[in-house]
Amino acid sequence: MSTPTEPPPSYDDVQQPLLAASNQTRPIPSPRGPPPPRLPLPLNLPALVALRGKRVVLASKSPRRRLLLAQIGLTNVDIVPSQFPEDLPKSLSPFEYVLQTATNKALEVYRREIDNPEKGGLALIIAADTIIISHSGHILEKPRNEVDHIGMLKMLRDEGQHRVCTAVAVMAPLENAVDPGYALETHVEETMVKFDANVTDDLIIAYVKTRDGADKAGGYGIQSAGSILIERIEGSYDNVVGMPLRPTLGLIEKVMLPDDELDEFARSDEE
């Protein structure tokens, strides 16, 4: 069998035909099936109350991040994917790399959307970036193609454990003209993930064929079939999914309500 001379196609090249084919073979769900689960009532917190009826932008097309925000009551989110090229030099430390990427994502969307007459007032921008830091210190993002995907997962298995780092940047435009015109808060969350050393090459290849991890940093999804590769984690689960909710809520509170406004809200709520 001859060795192919051409590189394997990238996931970007094959993703649309695969989606089209899967849509043709996927059965149509019965209209009599169970109703979708109801979301819980929104959290009655000052910062979230202040956002009701206002435009909240998620600078990402990740459906996982959108679902995570819905868990704290931000269900009416405007999706505006950032156009920041994400090409910062890998010579940066991993924390600086992921933090600068998330911050630049937020800034790029802010500059495009702050004066957008068609969308109305902008109240909040939430941006995030997730990377994998291998045990040997390499920064891993999304796999480029199937061969890269298989090699990435084998490396993560063979090295034993790795770190998942997600940086979140939250921005709120200021009503006054004080430079730079917005409040910005950031946070970097880290979670340790250990792959099962007994995961076989066949299992890795079978998982890669599902395309489940093709659009995810590190090439796997903990919330889906990728969980079969994982022995344990230490730290935040939703950080591995793509956005640590607890610190994200804290950033929203910082940019939406200064301390004096927060105290005033609490006093009025007690009266």
CATH classification at residue 94 = 3.90.950.10
pLDDT value at 249 more than 80: yes
Strand partners, 183: 172
Q: Is the peptide bond before 180 cis (omega within 30 degrees of 0)?
A: yes
pLDDT value at 7 more than 70: no
Segment 214-226 mean pLDDT: 94
Burial 82-120 (b: 16+ CB within 10 A, else e): bebeeebeeeeebeebbbbbbbbbbbbbbeebeeeeeee
- Nearest Cα to 140, choosing from 125, 151, 124? 151
Total count of domains within the chain: 1
Task: Identify the active-site residue in 129, 201, 212, 259.
Answer: 129
- Nearest Cα to 204, choosing from 216, 224, 220, 192? 220
Q: Which domain holds residue 107?
A: 43-262
pLDDT in tens, 253-266: 999 986 555 455 45
**191 in a structural domain:** yes
Residue predicted with more confidence, 119 or 31: 119
The answer to whether residue 215 is catalytic is: no
What is the rounded CA–CA span in Å between residue 128 and residue 111?
A: 17
- Quote the percentage of the chain above a pLDDT of 70: 79
What is the rounded CA–CA span in Å between residue 256 and residue 86?
A: 27
What is the rounded CA–CA span in Å between residue 103 and residue 100?
A: 5
**4 in a structural domain:** no
Instruction: Say what the pLDDT of residue 114 is.
Output: 86
**21 in a structural domain:** no
What is the rounded CA–CA span in Å between residue 229 and residue 252?
A: 33
Confidence of residue 115 (pLDDT cuts 50, 70, 90): confident
pLDDT value at 222 more than 80: yes
Instruction: Say what the pLDDT of residue 259 is.
Output: 58
pLDDT in tens, 23-64: 554 555 555 667 766 766 778 899 999 999 999 999 999 999
| Cβ–Cβ < 8 Å for 214, 149 | yes
**35 in a structural domain:** no
**183 in a structural domain:** yes
Instruction: Say what the pLDDT of residue 84 is.
Output: 95
pLDDT in tens, 54-99: 999 999 999 999 999 999 999 989 999 999 998 899 889 999 999 9
- Dihedral (CA of 71, 173, 168, 77) sign: positive
Burial 217-256 (b: 16+ CB within 10 A, else e): bbbbbbbeebeebbeebeebebbbbbbbbebbbebbbbbb
Type and span of the H or E element at 218: none
- Nearest Cα to 252, choosing from 42, 113, 13, 45? 45
In the predicted model, what is the mean pLDDT of the chain? 86
Residue predicted with more confidence, 269 or 213: 213
Instruction: Say what the pLDDT of residue 118 is.
Output: 67
pTM of the predicted model as reported, rounded to 2 decimal places: 0.80
pLDDT in tens, 226-237: 999 999 999 999
Dihedrals phi, psi of 59, to nearest 5 degrees: -85, 50
**190 in a structural domain:** yes
Residue predicted with more confidence, 244 or 86: 244
**138 in a structural domain:** yes
Instruction: Say what the pLDDT of residue 22 is.
Output: 46
**49 in a structural domain:** yes
